[in-house]
Structure formats: C-alpha cells, structure tokens
Chain A
Amino acid sequence: MRWITVFLNSSIGKKIIVSFTGIFLCSFLVVHLSGNFLLFRNDAGEAFEVYSHFMSTNGIIRFLEIGLALGFILHIFNTLRLTLENKKARPVPYAVYKPSENSTLTSRSMFYSGLLVLAFLIIHLNTFFVTHRVIGTDVTMYESVVESFKSPVYSWFYIFAMLLLGLHLNHGFQSAFQTLGMNHKKYTPLIKFLGLLFSIVVPAGFATFPVYFLFFHQ
C-alpha cells in the first residue's frame, strides 16, 4: 500500500487530486445552477420549495452531500499543500519579474481567486445551509433567498464572487484536463473552448439570481 501514500504525497499526485476534485465540483455547479432556475417560476416559490425539501430530505442526496464536502476538502487541502511548497521553492524573489510576458493573470492568481471564492462559499453556506439545515428556522428557503437578495450589499457581493468564480474556472477547467494528462491536438482546442464557455455561462447563470431579485422581482 506504500504506493498510494507515495502517489498522494507526490507533486503530480496532489495536482491530480486537485484536478479530479475540480472537475467534480464543476459538475456540482451545473446541478446547483439547474435547480436554482426554479426560482424563476412565477409561483411564489412553490416549485423551489418542493425541490429544496427534496434536496434536504432525500437519503441519496444526503449521502452524496458527504462526497461533495469531501470534494471541497480535498480540493482545498491539496491546493494549500501545493501552494505552500510552491512558495518555498522560491525563497528569494526576482528584483525585476515580468510574468505578464509569458503567462495570463488568471492562471497565476488561482490561489487568490480560489481563496475569495472560498470566503464567498463560507458566507453563502452560513446564509442558507447553516440557517436552514443546522439551526432550523420557520422561514422557507424561498423567503430566505428573496430576503437575502433584497440586500444590495449581499447581491453585489454575490455578483462579485461569481466574477471571481469565472476567473477561477477560466483557467481551472482546461488546466484540470492538462493535469490529468489529457492533452491532444484534436481535443485540447475543444476543451479550451468548453472551458471558456463554462467559465462564462455558469457564473453568469448564478449572477442572474441577484440581478433578478434586486431589480425585477416584485
């Protein structure tokens, strides 16, 4: 079994875990976004409540939730380890350093965009998950959503976080495939295009909720 610990502690092993969990978390974003679109049904949140009730009570979903938490934990834990090791690898910085000549800002700032998305995630979980599922409240999930997005501060913060998520996905999506060894002259351009599309469509999709409730909801 020594090979497993060797693999998990190697630089490439850690990168592969980050990529694998990253793609898994992308699939979660799609599911989360599709469900949230029920907010747009003009039924005073009835369909959204049914969905929200199902998600919080269904045994299979609750079980998968553990996998989701594990996905986040492994993604963050391995990124932290890698970032610390990467910082240690260059103790003396350059006096003149021009990384913009050879790489993109989004690719270089993955740790920081990730960190801000994490900060958003904690606040987001506190607003909805902790209030409804841990503490418990009489207010429905739909009412909570409406209430939260009525606050311009929360809504703009949400939109800003989605922008950062987009930047994170912009590099992360295609980078995950590269790390998993999937680089091919036929398919890599397609993966890069899908990554760009994903990094725009998904965060923009999420951003429609604060925009809708802040400006258009009666």
Chain B
Amino acid sequence: MKLTLKIWRQKDSKSKGDFSTYELESVSPDMSFLEMLDILNEKLISQNIDPVAFDHDCREGICGSCGVYINGRAHGPKRGITACQLHMRSFKDGDTIWVEPWRAKPFPVLKDLVVDRSPLDRIMQSGGFISARTGSAPDANAVLIDHDTAELAMDAAACIGCGACVAACKNASAMLFVSAKVSHFALLPQGHPEREARVLNMVAQMDKEGFGACTNTGACEAECPKSISITNIARLNREYLKASFK
C-alpha cells in the first residue's frame, strides 16, 4: 500500500505545531497502525529527521498508552479497539491519513502525538481507590456478589484510561472515564466505605482539571476502545446527587 500521512509535529509543549506530510510506500495491510508509524520513523531516522513521537506500550489493547486521532476519529475508524489494534487493511491504497494528538485543554501536547494525561491520574488519586486491610488475603467467597453486578463492575473496570472519551467528546468531557471508575467501586461492597467521598472528590478534581461537561451525545461510548456504556454516566450522576444531598 502507498499512503500519504499528514502528521501533527510539535517540538514541545511551548512550541507551535503544524502538520507535516510524509509519503510511505510498501505498507503491508497486515501491519498495525503503530507498526506503520515504526516503519515511518525508521525511514525518518535514516534521513536524519526527528522521528514522530507517539505513546505506546503493550501493543495489545490493554495498557491505554496509544491514543491518537486518526482521520477524525479517536483510535481510528473502527469501533471497540485501540490504535495498536487497528490494522492497515482498514485503509485503502493511496489513502491520505490525518494523525493528530488528543485535543483537550487538560491534555497539553508534550511532543508530536504525545499528550500529558496526568489529569486522569490526579482524578484517580482523589478517590479512585479502596481501603483494604493488610495482612493475609481474604477468603475468595467471603463477600458474596451476584453475577450480574460483578459483570457490570467488570465492564466498568475495563476502562484503560486512554482518554479517547475526552478526545472524542465535543466538550472534551472526562465523564465516561470518571463514571467508569466511580461505577466500578460503587457496584462492589469493597468500594462502599469511601463511596460518597469518592464521587464528590473525583468530580471536584475532574472540574478543577478543566474538562468539559457531558451533553449526552454518546460520542464517548461509540469511541471507547472498551465500549464502556454511558449508563455509567447516569450512575455517576446518581451517585453524585445522593452524596451531595446526604
């Protein structure tokens, strides 16, 4: 495959960035999107050009590191996958592909396609944890949880914190992320001791970081690589209402 790549290049967070155009030939349709970027970078290095910086780690869709806006969509044109799980067979020979970093005020661009996603970490630090006693491991069946609830909690816990919800939302809202974390803990008995404080603190931190608010467009749900449902956002609102008025 022969491709034209329009990639956002930015030296650092203080510099002004712009798109650079690269031509790439003999791209295999079986390559992942990140492997295609690797090939491009090898070519750039051989030409003494600074390679394109992009985040990546596990390359199997579970770490949440890779996250770029590809042709106007978070993680590219396919649903329910990360950029590393996107294959070049999803594109056609001769295509022009636009690659941009996540765009949100709380996610400043550090270099090229790499953004600072530490606001999500600070939201987690504000309440995304449980208090567990130390010592020997508790018996696996000591706390009974029905199957459906356990499944709902697991669905929420599938969030890998990649930030695609923020990137895709027209308001750059992080509510799908926060709602997944709040739901994951609120659904399970282990999360109950800090239930109210958690939702109040996490929402306060989310607002402080400068994310927008949800307008229920459902873009986040559609672009989430883990297909996390916006029913979690309704649960977040419920938890927040309850905690505020208690």
- Chain A interface (Cβ within 8 Å of chain B)? 3, 6-7, 10-16, 82, 85-86, 88-99, 101-104, 107-108, 110, 171, 175, 178-183
Contact = CB atoms under 8 A, between A and B. Distances in A.
Contacts of A178: 216, 230, 233-234, 237
Given A11-B203, A171-B216, A103 B222 contact: yes
A96 B103 contact: no
Given A86-B173, A89-B210, A91-B105, A182 B215 contact: no
B162 interface: no
B33 interface: no
Contact of A108 (B103, B170, B236): B170
B168 interface: yes
Given A102-B222, A108-B170, A175 B216 contact: yes
B219 interface: yes
Interface of B: 6, 8, 19, 69, 71-73, 77, 98, 100, 103-106, 168, 170-173, 175, 203-204, 206-207, 210-219, 222-223, 230-231, 233-241, 244-245
B75 to A, nearest CB: 11
B73 A89 contact: no
Contact of B100 (A13, A91, A95, A183): A95
A82 B19 CA distance: 31
For the complex, would chain B's binding face be called helix, strand, loop or mixed by DSSP majority?
A: mixed
Contacts of B104: 89-90
A91 B141 CA distance: 50
Contact of A90 (B171, B218, B234): B171
A11 B216 contact: no
A182 B216 contact: no
B171 A86 contact: yes
Contacts of A171: 216
B231 A94 contact: no
A96 B207 contact: no
B72 A98 contact: yes
A101 B73 contact: yes
B12 to A, nearest CB: 15
B200 to A, nearest CB: 8
B164 to A, nearest CB: 10
Contact of A107 (B6, B211, B218): B218
Given A10-B207, A95-B98, 4 more contacts: A85-B213, A90-B103, A101-B73, A183-B230
